Amino acid sequence: MNKNKLKYIIKALFDAPISNKDFLVNREKELNHLNKIAYFQPMGIFGLCGETGVGKTTTLNFIDSEDAKRFHILITEKDSKEIIIGDFLYKLSILALKLKNKKINNIAKESKEFILNEMNYNTTYGGGLSFAANISYEKSVNNRKRFNIYSVKEYIDKLLSLLVEEYGKILIIIDELDKEKKEEVLNILDSLKNVLFKENIITFVSLPFSIYREYSNDRMRWNESGNLENIFKDMIFLDSLTIEDIKKMILKRIKEYPDYFDIEALNEIAVFSDGNPRDALWMAQQIALINSDIDRISKDIAKKSIGMIISQNIEKSFSFTKIQKIILKEIARNSLDKSTLVKKLEGKVKRQTVYTYIKRLMNDGIIIENKDILYLPAKIRYYIENF
């Protein structure tokens, strides 16, 4: 294939959160809800949940903030509650310094210097020795210095009040919390909730699924001692996209070469991805790269390539025995519970063996159990069904 064409296709399929609405598929319902929150809610922390790669960052990018000022904050220093709050102030100050407002700039500058000084104080790395503020910042944070938490909170309060005064409404977006363990996330939010709970400040955070489940249980009073509803006022769950959406997403991206993938080839990619846009983009890119000599991807080529790519990836980590494959095939055919599975395999596999293998495969994430029913993740199912 022509080098420039391949270059275009690989770039178009590159996995990164989008901010151009032309490339967005679906999510009207979720965005509608998020926009209503941003517009109508007076204050509060709100969660966005979903499996990795499903589009949390992308969706957060499209929250309509016409009448609000948006701040993306990445919390990186998490050693203790004080450090988290200090980190929040530092990051907010950096963003506030870029605004064109003298009053805000002044407080931001003061806050930033305060954090840098407080954290340099008493550390073995003298502040004057480092030539870049960032270096001394990270070094000193690593020293786990306790600093005056009351002053930090006062600075945050001052800065946020000025921001609200200037812009009316503030959206704070704390993405990437979904990469943390549940306890860490709660720790971070617990430290921040008091400073963020302020009129006209709406905070959106991305969260791991475990928190969503617990939150729902709290709301429904199915948990003994609910506490998440104290932190979150509402939570939105992002489901996988549909197979049709995934195809649309890829076609929108490669619009200069809409025929590059046969429609059936696109379908294979979408089915493999099981509605996860990141998995779809990754696979589509891989197929284009390993077939760089081919001008157009047919269903057969797609299928063969997907098989090769998954096999390579799966077989690097696992090799299934004959019996394991029998078990996995049965689950792939039909999601079912353990005892039904044992019955189905009667005469083929011993009862105890089935139980032992299920346990082991569940530990490896090859089998998922939800409400007593066994499932295979899409990629494993695709592999087992086709190869």
Interaction site with ligand ATP (CB under 6 A): 15-18, 23-27, 50, 52-58, 178, 249, 277-278, 281
* Encoded tokens for 270: 């979408």
Let me know: does 57 contact 206? Beta carbons within 8 Å.
Answer: yes
Whole-angstrom distance, CA of residue 38 vs CA of residue 67: 9
CB of 325 vs ligand ATP, minimal distance in Å: 31
30 contact, one of ligand ATP, Mg ion, none, CB 5-8 Å limit per kind: none
Between 47 and 277, CB nearer to ligand ATP = 277
Between 56 and 253, CB nearer to Mg ion = 56
Total residues binding Mg ion (CB under 5 A): 2
CB of 201 vs ligand ATP, minimal distance in Å: 23
Between 136 and 276, CB nearer to Mg ion = 276
3-class DSSP state for residue 69?
Answer: strand
Residue span binding Mg ion (CB under 5 A) among the ranges 57-65, 117-125, 152-160, 293-301: 57-65
Residue 325: how many CB atoms within 10 A of its CB? Answer: 13
Question: Going by C-beta distance under 8 Å and a sequence separation of 6 or more, which residues neighbour residue 261?
Answer: 250, 254, 269, 284, 296, 297, 302
CB of 56 vs Mg ion, minimal distance in Å: 5
Between 26 and 111, CB nearer to ligand ATP = 26
CB of 53 vs Mg ion, minimal distance in Å: 8
Q: Where are the beta strands (DSSP E) in 313-382?
A: 336-337, 368-370, 373-375
132 contact, one of ligand ATP, Mg ion, none, CB 5-8 Å limit per kind: none
CB of 74 vs ligand ATP, minimal distance in Å: 12
Residue span binding Mg ion (CB under 5 A) among the ranges 3-11, 55-63, 164-172, 364-372: 55-63
Residue 231: C-alpha distances to residues 95, 176, 196, 217, 373 (Å): 25, 18, 11, 14, 32
77 contact, one of ligand ATP, Mg ion, none, CB 5-8 Å limit per kind: none
Whole-angstrom distance, CA of residue 71 vs CA of residue 325: 49
Q: What burial class does residue 8 get, using C-beta atoms within 10 Å of its C-beta: 0-12 exposed, 13-18 middle, 19+ buried?
A: middle
Amino acid in the structure at residue 132: A
* Encoded tokens for 351: 């009862």
What are phi and psi for residue 337, nearest 5 degrees? -90, 170
Between 57 and 276, CB nearer to Mg ion = 57
165 contact, one of ligand ATP, Mg ion, none, CB 5-8 Å limit per kind: none
Point out the residue whose Cβ comes nearest to ligand ATP: 55
**Which of 26, 57, 59, 111 is in the footprint of Mg ion by CB under 5 A?**
57
Residues of the shown chain interacting with Mg ion in the complex, contacts defined by CB under 5 A: 56-57
